[in-house]
A and B are shown apart, each in its own frame.
Chain A
């Protein structure tokens, strides 16, 4: 499909740490005594993207768009229904748990709710050191030294080694989650809504920490969030998801300067801007209705039920994810023009 379009011209396959093709994840809904499958949640429905070494790749979308399922697929916490996930040249999509084990050192995850992902009955030293223990570092004092080093790096006081998660604030707990993720010096970190549960002043601290660690450790980061301004701040390239599909993929700057897909445009215009003159002369697109259920997504273009530009063809034919100029790709029959984008994003100059 759009494989060639989303890669920079002349880029080698080796540049990509992660290559995802035709990835599908359906969750069956079972009912009755026989647990017969009556329907399926189309959580992820045929997505493709590459994550280059050292880049920060963003996935953005509203609830139910499949971004968290994608995170769990590429970290292989879930097995895909079909499609391939190639990590560092190896297709890991059907690997068994045992075979995946060495990979767990390379690929780590940070979760939204740091409290729910930390065992309340373990000291944070134990929690952060757990990955080391699991990978066979049996020397306790060696583990302790490494854990203290990592705690210091993420801005936790190493003297708090023996404290428990409940003794920490939300921001500090997220630092614990980050410490656990970097203790093995992974190559790829998948961060699923890492700052959504945090207050604004703390959110900025955690975002800065992630950027510093990325630069120092040469990490590749897949950053997932529903907040467009956060994703734009963090990411080199961004994929916008809607109901299990990628509807647009572009570099962060291009995506915000010129969104092609009407959904991207609507998302951006819906973000309230903290300025007194904000909104004046700005055409705010308020999308009608809710996101349709992923159990029975609309046929053809999935966005057509809420799109103000939809025509007959949008109800009949699914638009492919294809180039709409430069390296941007969008899946739309009627991509936004420059004029439409201006009206959506910029306050009028008069």
Chain B
């Protein structure tokens, strides 16, 4: 059985401008020791999905439905007290900007000690020892001294390591990393990604990695879900997704990025238009206004997320054969896609 099973999750927020449908029917599952990548642009619902798992979207104006099964219990209907026990201890989360998740007035060591003691009844000195161990395991040099540092005394990469140390001090079953390297330089990103991989391998922590960067997904993830306008448009194991993607949106993303590993092209092929407003999501297939193919039914009805081949789910009206043919012709036009 899967470690975490999201089933038909809907999250919407009532605002002055209308109802924002941030997540509209997402189903995903995560197995132990696996890394699931959720990739999408801003407004795709990838962060809201992740935050809802740990109950961070329970605002008065939010409406949440569906089920998130973890350890035999539904996190959506769970009361706040029980959820608090799970959040942090069994499902930990790290964010894009570590500076805003660390308290500026307290020493980083103290903050990790507190996090441990909230969930476990251990003496202060034991918690301190575990904190120093955690700091050491994420590669912070001289952790005994760094224990007494304030967040502002550290670099961005170092702060993200502290967040990872805090997340892992409690040996969670799941680590949710929401754009963990977006604010970091590429050489520091490489360090942090390597660290997350090592921790997954050593402790068997399952990881949900949320990112806009398809390169990071290709490097890190076992399974990938591509989200757009609150929906999953394509979902597959990594090799399948990168070797034979079947959704026009995924093709668009792959064509939009300049590539280091291919000869330079004159012009990029961007996706036309911009992502839809989540208040007025387009009728029919949500991607149709930007889709270069738009089969006629896409204007009226939303395609279901269907299995194109075992383990490969696609939400598109085009037939599997058409999609295979289109992808092949794209590959012959763009050497970078081969």
Residues of B within 8 A of A230 (CB): 258
Give the contacts of B37-55 with A (CB-CB under 8 A). 41-42
Q: State whether A62 touches B185 (Cβ < 8 A).
A: yes
Query: Known: A205-B270, A253-B264. Is A271-B252 also a contact (CB below 8 A)?
Result: no
Name the interface size band of chain A. 35 or more
Instruction: Specify which chain A residues have a CB less than 8 angstroms from the CB of B214 in the assembled complex.
Output: 200, 274
Residue in contact with A274 in the complex, picked from B218, B264, B269, B274, CB distance below 8 Å? B218
A13 within 8 Å of B by Cβ?
A: no
Q: A83 contacts the other chain (Cβ, under 8 Å)? A: no
A208→B267 contact, CB < 8 A: yes
Judge if A184 is at the interface, Cβ distance under 8 Å.
no
B65 within 8 A of A: no
A232 an interface residue at 8 Å Cβ cutoff?
Answer: yes
Taking a contact as CB atoms under 8 Å apart, the answer to whether A274 and B258 are in contact is no
Which residues of chain A are near B61, meaning CB under 8 Å? none
A278-293, CB under 8 A of B: which get 1 and which 0? 1100001011101100
B258 touches A207 (CB 8 A): yes
Judge whether A276 and B218 touch: CB under 8 Å.
yes
- Judge whether A270 is part of the interface by a CB distance below 8 angstroms: yes
Judging by beta carbons under 8 Å apart, are B190 and A273 in contact? no
A270 CB contacts on chain B under 8 angstroms: 186-187, 189-190
- B255-305, CB < 8 A from A: 255-261, 264-271, 274-275, 290
List the A side residues contacting B241 at CB < 8 Å. Answer: 276
Enumerate chain B residues within 8 angstroms of A199, measured Cβ to Cβ.
41-42, 212, 275
**A247 on interface, CB distance cutoff 8 Å:** no
Nearest-neighbor residue (CB-CB) of A204 within chain B: B270
Interface residues of B in 224-248 (CB under 8 A from A): 238-239, 241-243
CA distance A252 to B265 in the complex (A): 12
Please determine whether A290 and B190 come into contact, CB atoms closer than 8 angstroms: no
Interface residues as binary, A39-67 with B (CB distance below 8 Å gives 1, 0 otherwise) = 00000000000000000000000110000
Interface residues of A in 58-84 (CB under 8 A from B): 62-63
Min CB–CB distance B197 → chain A (angstroms):
11
Inter-chain contact count A-B, CB under 8 Å?
132
Which B174-220 residues sit within 8 Å CB-CB of chain A?
A: 185-191, 193-194, 212-219
Task: List residues of chain A with CB within 8 A of the CB of B188.
Answer: 62, 290
Residues of chain B lying within 8 A (CB to CB) of residue A10:
none
Residue A256 CB within 8 A of the other chain:
yes
With beta carbons under 8 angstroms apart, the residue of B185, B191, B290 that contacts A226 is B185
A182 at the interface (CB under 8 A from B): no
Which of B193, B253, B266, B268 is most buried by chain A, counting CB atoms within 10 A of its CB? B268
Taking the complex as formed, is A5 at the interface, i.e. its CB lies under 8 A from any CB of chain B?
no
* B157 interface hit (Cβ, 8 Å): yes
Query: Nearest chain B CB to A16's CB is how many angstroms away?
Result: 24
Whether a CB of chain A sits under 8 angstroms from the CB of B331 is: no
Interface residues in B15-57 by Cβ distance below 8 A to A read 41-42
Contact residues in B for A171 (Cβ distance below 8 Å): 274
Task: Report the separation of the CA atoms of residues A63 and B213 in the bound assembly, to the nearest whole angstrom.
Answer: 19
Contact B270 A208 (CB under 8 A): yes
Q: Could you tell me the distance in whole angstroms from the C-beta of A342 to the nearest C-beta in chain B? A: 13
Query: In the bound complex, do residue B256 and residue A232 qualify as a contact, i.e. CB atoms below 8 Å apart?
Result: no
Contacts A270-B187, A290-B155 given; does A276 touch B270 at CB 8 Å: no
Question: Among residues 253 to 283 in chain A, which have CB atoms less than 8 Å away from a CB atom of chain B?
Answer: 253, 256, 266-268, 270-276, 278-279
A201-B41, A278-B218, A286-B187 known; 7 new pairs, CB 8 Å cut-off, are A62-B186, A63-B156, A229-B259, A233-B268, A272-B215, A273-B259, A274-B254
B interface residues (Cβ-Cβ under 8 A, vs A): 41-42, 155-158, 185-191, 193-194, 212-219, 238-239, 241-243, 252-261, 264-271, 274-275, 290
- Residues of A at the B interface (CB closer than 8 Å) are 62-63, 169-172, 199-205, 207-208, 211, 226-230, 232-233, 252-253, 256, 266-268, 270-276, 278-279, 284, 286-288, 290-291, 345
Sample 6 A-B pairs with CB under 8 A, ordered by A number.
Answer: A226-B186, A229-B260, A270-B190, A272-B193, A273-B215, A290-B158
> Which 4 A-B residue pairs are closest in the complex by CB-CB distance?
A272-B215, A204-B270, A233-B258, A276-B242
